[in-house]
Amino acid sequence: MMTTTEILEPLARMRDDEIVVTSMSTVRPWGRLSDHDLDFASADSAMGHTADLALGLALAQPGRRVVCLNGDGSMMMTLGTLATIVESGSKNIILFVIDNGTYEITGSQKVPGAGVVQWADLAAAAGFPRTYVFEDAAEYAAKIEEVLEGEGPVFVQVRVERGSARPISRSQIEESRYLKTSLASWSRCMRSTLMEEES
Amino acid sequence: MNARESADQASESPSVSTPVPQAALVVEALERLGVTHVVGLPDNGHAALYMLLETNPSIEVVSVTREGEAWAIASGLWVGGKNPALAIQNCGLLESGDGLRGTAMRMRVPLLCFISYRGFEKMVAYEVEPDFDWHPDTLTREELDSAALLLEPTLRAWGVPFYRYNSDDDAGRVAEAWEQAEREERPVALLMTRGLRAGEVAPKPR
């Protein structure tokens, strides 16, 4: 089993100009590691639709990698998205499922199928050409460059310890810049940034 | 304009003799507006639209497995700098409430959404008008479609402006709805009261 920090720190070190979409238990820890205009917190958003949002970004920005840090509970809500991603033809999305077996934010209740569902197998069956399963921090750190490079879509299941993240707000009391503003404001800023870089 | 006002401006019910609207006119309007993607789940009402888009060089189709995905994917496309639209059925809209609320509405994405009004013609035939307070006896009448009965009340409750699209005479509403969505930074719906047909206006070659 890994910790959330062991997932995010190697990713932050490798991060170049990728869009990084966080959700649930990764929102605050990523915000402590990164303060980038292309970070997007899927917080105060729709239940289970983080990977869908990331797919939209990936389709809009085919020349840029999009890393989506999804939770297992969120992914379970929209399993069809695995097929949608493959069907879309997107080659630039890297979809992580942070597999802690719980709905951590709401009090660590068990996710149906926790410990039974083999996420990477599901993704492979849906047509993901590259899938990974990590539960060892050293192995993960050694492979992260390979994960991020090359053609996708890529699916990464990471088995992590249960945490104790609390509900996330969008307000000035939050530490991270991307949580200090509304979802609408951040969306507009990010669209402007991406359109400026394209022009 | 609020949702109720927009509903009040909705078209009169189409008569039986009114020709079924052409999908090609919708595609032409989308091209003129610079729509880059249509996200959705094909249904009978939009079948002709999806057929034309398959060969359209300027508008990409993103097919989803459930309508809730569509709002989030379209919102991501918009943040990424594109100009998407949605095409779904009314029962799919009802399924997708939190996806709409938590992405397109919460993010204030200007988004044009075509919604097939399955069951509309039955409502017209039985002279039933949309109501906020349906009695269970009405919702279970076998000759009516509850997806139609609940569509407009749901959109009003969710604060989504909407307009009925009954015939080719309403083709201008595509641009009007798009402009409203852009101006008010919100989703705006066009309710396709009759299934679109493949029309005489040929799609542009690749």
Domains held by chain A: number: 1
Which of A38, A49, A196 to mutate to probe the B interface, most B CBs <10 Å? A49
ipTM of the complex: 0.96
How would residue B50 be classed by pLDDT, with cut points 50, 70 and 90?
Answer: very high
pLDDT of B4 higher than 50: no
Output the CATH code of domain B3-192. Answer: 3.40.50.970
Instruction: Show the tokens assigned to B162.
Output: 């909407």
Contacts of A53 in chain B (CB under 8 A): 72-73, 75-76, 79, 103
Question: How far, in Å, CA of B156 to CA of B162, rounded?
Answer: 8
Which of A18, A187, A192 to mutate to probe the B interface, most B CBs <10 Å? A187
State residue B197's pLDDT score.
93
Q: What angle do CA A179, A103, A96 make, to 5 degrees?
A: 70
Mean pLDDT of B189-193: 97
pTM of the prediction?
0.94
- Rounded to the nearest 5 percent, the helix, strand and coil shares of chain B are 45, 15, 40
Domain with A109, as residue range(s), is: 4-198
pLDDT of B18 higher than 80: no
Burial of residue A143, with CB atoms counted within 10 A of its CB: 0-12 exposed, 13-18 middle, 19 or more buried: middle
| CA dihedral over B138, B139, B144, B147, signed as positive or negative | positive
Question: How far, in Å, CA of B166 to CA of A126, rounded?
Answer: 39
Instruction: Show the tokens assigned to A8.
Output: 């995010």
Contacts of B80 in chain A (CB under 8 A): 56-61, 191, 194
Q: Where are the domains of chain B?
A: 3-192
8 A C-beta contact, residue B75 and residue B104? yes
Question: How far, in Å, CA of B83 to CA of A1, rounded?
Answer: 42
- Counting residues of chain A whose pLDDT is more than 90, the rounded percentage is 85
Contacts of A193 in chain B (CB under 8 A): none
Question: How far, in Å, CA of B149 to CA of B160, rounded?
Answer: 16
Of B5 and A18, the one with more pLDDT: A18
Q: What is the CATH number of the domain that holds A64?
A: 3.40.50.970
